[in-house]
Amino acid sequence: MIAAVLVLAGLGVTAWVVLADPDLDLLGRDTRDEPYEPPGTPYYSLPPYAVPTVPATPSTGASNYPGPSYSPSPSRTPDPLDKAFAVVRTGDCVSAYYSGLEWNRSAPYVVSCSAADAYMYVASTRDDATCAASGRGRTFWSHTNDDGSIVKLCLERRFRAGQCFLATKAGDSMQANLSTLWDCNATTVPKDYTYIMKITGLLPGNSNVNYCPGDSRKAHSGWLSYDGYLVCAENAL
């Protein structure tokens, strides 16, 4: 039970009125149907209006997630080996060569094509390149980057007199791997090879091997290269 003061307008009469139901106001409204509103608090901040619903997340399978767009984490520092392959361009020359077992270095190193160590010419660097058939001085070098992409260098051997390559005996003939390069003064060769052949000169492809320059006391051999030249060579051992 609560009491309220009632002033009768115009009569100057003040009276106490006892309300039988404490949940009813002076106008007979049920206050339980209205939310409590602190003084000075805007209406829209009262629950449930200010309580946001939990947005769906991608893990729940929802496709209309209203939150911020996905921001990937910063990319990692590029691998130095990836960068070394990335800077190679078609038309470059590199100081890399195949030793018969592996490349002489882990990454290609670009040099001037007039340099003495310009062992390979880069015919193509496209990752989807189809290199010309290997052999006769042509080969390729593939590298897989950290992100899974592939760099493929199509390479062509640059022949110079005084350089050596590897060869092997095959029946009555000698087979050369013109893509290789080996120390002319070495006394051993990699597995599967027999000879170290020293380049004595380059002649037009239709030349007779008997015209190859070199030590007259040694037998000379010749192989056609990818670009149509006769690579003349003699046994370096």
In the chain, the DSSP E strands lie at 2-8, 13-19, 93-94, 110-111, 120-124, 138-144, 150-157, 164-170, 173-177, 195-204, 220-224, 229-235
CA distance 211 to 90: 35
Please write the tens of the pLDDT for every residue from 95-137.
999 999 899 999 999 999 999 999 999 999 876 668 888 899 9
Average pLDDT of the segment spanning 75-89 = 87
Assign 30 a pLDDT band (cuts: 50, 70, 90).
low
pTM of the model: 0.66
Give the residue with greater pLDDT, 140 vs 66: 140
Show the DSSP H helices in 4-135 as ranges.
80-86
Over 90: is that where the pLDDT of 29 sits?
no
Assign 53 a pLDDT band (cuts: 50, 70, 90).
very low
Of 59-68, 165-174, 225-234, the least confident: 59-68
**58 φ, ψ to 5°?**
-55, -30
Taking residue 137's Cβ as centre, other Cβ atoms within 10 Å add up to 25
CA distance 224 to 127: 28
Q: Average pLDDT, whole number, for the chain?
A: 78
The order of strands in the sheet holding 110-111 is 110-111, 93-94, 120-124, 150-157, 138-144
Average pLDDT of the segment spanning 34-57 = 42
CA distance 197 to 168: 10
In this structure, are residues 123 and 131 in contact, taking their beta carbons and an 8 Å threshold?
yes
Average pLDDT of the segment spanning 8-34 = 49
**44 φ, ψ to 5°?**
-70, -10
* Exposure string over 47-68, b if 16+ CB within 10 A, otherwise e: eeeeeeeeeeeeeeeeeeeeee
Q: Where are the domains of the chain?
A: 1-65, 80-157, 164-235
Q: What is the DSSP letter of 71?
A: -
pLDDT of residue 237: 75
Token pair 């990335």 in the structure block, residue = 86
Please write the tens of the pLDDT for every residue from 182-205.
999 999 999 989 999 999 999 999
Q: Which of 156, 92, 154 is nearest to 129 (CA)?
A: 154
